[in-house]
Amino acid sequence: MSTDTTPTTTRADAREASTPGSEWWRSAVIYQIYPRSFADASGDGIGDLAGITERLPSLAALGVDAVWLSPFFRSPQKDAGYDVADYCDVDPIFGTLADFDRMRDRAHELGLRVIVDLVPNHSSSEHPWFQEALAAGPGSPERDRYMFREGTGENGELPPNNWPSVFGGAAWTRVTEADGRPGQWYLHIFDSSQPDFNWENPVVWEEFRRILRFWLDRGVDGFRVDVAHGLMKKDGLPDIAEKATGDGIADALMAPEEVPYWAQPAVHEVYRDWHRVLAEYPGDRVLCAEAWVEPLEKAALWVRSDEMHQAFNFSYLSTPWSAPRLRAVIDESIAAFTGVGAPSTWVLSNHDVVRHASRYGLPEHVAGPNAGIGPNSPEKPDAALGLRRARAASALMLSLPGSAYLYQGEELGLPEVIELDDHVREDPTFHRTGGEAYGRDGCRVPIPWEADAPAFGFNDSGSSWLPQPEVFREYARDQQEGMAGSTLELYRSALELRARRELGLGSVEWLDGYGDEVVAFRNGGLTIIANLGSTPVELPAGDVVLASDAIDGRAVPTDTTVWIA
């Protein structure tokens, strides 16, 4: 694999403890690495920790503050590592614990903090605990670590309730007992290979304290917590109304009605417990919730002062390209999160949703996160429109106070990969729905580094676990490096200005007089104007220090964001 030659000069060491109210995570820009698709040092077609270590200087040069790694733990990879078999070891496809230590050390040398993904709602069915539960039988302490229940119907042949899996089908699977008889059912809100833990059991609490301390002792700076609104289930596991089941992965995660497996009040006690564990360690360690919860006032409950520190703002991610709706969600976000003493977060893409460079090229009625786009989808994105709006949306997001999350490749303007053959798709959503939902593979294709290298620089062998489209050549990092007007240089300039102007610690002062199709405000001494309308908007006096697209004269073109000093 080619060695990255980006200068490795470190920024000022950001790992010193801060005073309350100035913690690093309040204004950080955090870059999500999806390990299997970031960089592959071994050449086997799957990204790894050594590959990440080689490429970290590029992220330091980009100007981010931290990296968040999706799961790299031991796993059969039925759900790309979100099915964990051993929470305290590295899966061999990604390397070893020693490789993790080298990656962590390199990141800290470069001034980057390291956040790891934790999956507490469920384990892999290959986790030793679950195998012990199957062997031990009904009523055993081993089974009580998971959600085993007797079935309904005359002979227990029906599931305990009507809960659906987020990935399609039922959320219950029946086991065959040791004597060959059909036995109990176990709950899996996701894939059948991901049995849910029983968080009513104190043994589970103690195990996750051990896991937290294992990684904190190893020097990680925090945790992103998968499905943080799950874990606890309502007493009695009651049926849900059919209208609350959701449609597709995002709808099922952010159910339109309250359901008995999301956002139960008792889940907050888990994170109060975890907060106390992190408080044992120096350096402002952080917990970030993946909590698909609406409204925002409810999502803010996850980041009260004695719980988590951040929660992903999925309401912002889900907002279509509409100035009134963006103004509203920005106001609601800041009010909700500051109301509990936490920063708002901002995010446009991640490993579970259609990349925003494609999402913004879709008609509004399908512009939200969904279960993927594929060859037979009724609507296809307008690539040029999507990228233009994505650049404007990113420039707007990075001007807001609080913390921002970037997903690998968005700084290159990468689109969703639509043309993937069925036989290469790996997302369980695709398989459990019989192809009705394409799933998330399209945003997980390995990213391009060098236009003329094998696998576009992902590795030296040319192998890639998902095929890369030829169009990735024009998005490769080496084609954008130092190129005025490139998406990469737009992100670099925005991040440098954001840090220098301390926009993450600033505030929004709305500006009037720009009409309903414009988002305009001041922050950090800058005037921010995002024109979402159909006609150009006159620029105010001042110097344009950032523009998401070319400015012609003294007007902001449509689908363009500018920063003015």
The secondary structure element, H or E, covering residue 326 is helix 323-338
CA-to-CA distance for 113 and 222, rounded, in angstroms? 8
Whether 280 sits among the annotated catalytic residues: the reply is: yes
Q: Cα–Cα–Cα angle for 484, 490, 493, nearest 5°?
A: 100
Lookup: tokens for 291:
């909590």
> 65, 226, 332, 441: which is the annotated catalytic residue?
226
Cα–Cα distance list, 382 to 343, 367, 369, 420 (Å): 34, 12, 16, 18
Question: Which of 280, 331, 452, 538 is an active site residue?
Answer: 280
CA dihedral 81, 87, 93, 97 (to 10 degrees): 150
Spatial distance between the Cα atoms of 440 and 428, rounded to a whole number of angstroms: 9
Write the CA distances from 108 to 34, 76, 325, 354, 509, integer angstroms.
19, 30, 39, 31, 35
Alpha-carbon dihedral 523, 529, 530, 531, rounded to 10 degrees: 160
Integer Cα distance of 146 and 199 in angstroms: 8
For residues 494 and 528, the answer to whether their CB atoms sit within 8 Å is no
Q: Tell me whether residue 226 is one of the annotated catalytic residues.
A: yes
Output the CA torsion 183→259→204→116 (10° steps). Answer: 120
Two structure tokens written together for 42: 């071994």
Residue type, 454: P
How far apart, in whole angstroms, are the C-alpha atoms of residue 423 and residue 168? 19
Q: What is the DSSP string of 453-500?
A: SGGGGT-SS---SSPPPTTHHHH-HHHHTT-TT-HHHHHHHHHHHHHH
Q: How many Å is the maximal CA-CA distance in the chain? A: 81
Cβ count within 10 A of residue 282: 9
Taking Cα atoms as reference points, which of 166, 268, 281, 165 lies closest to residue 212? 281
Whether residue 105 contacts residue 69, with contact meaning beta carbons closer than 8 Å, is answered with no
Sign of CA dihedral 10, 16, 22, 27: positive
Catalogue the active-site residues.
Answer: 226, 280
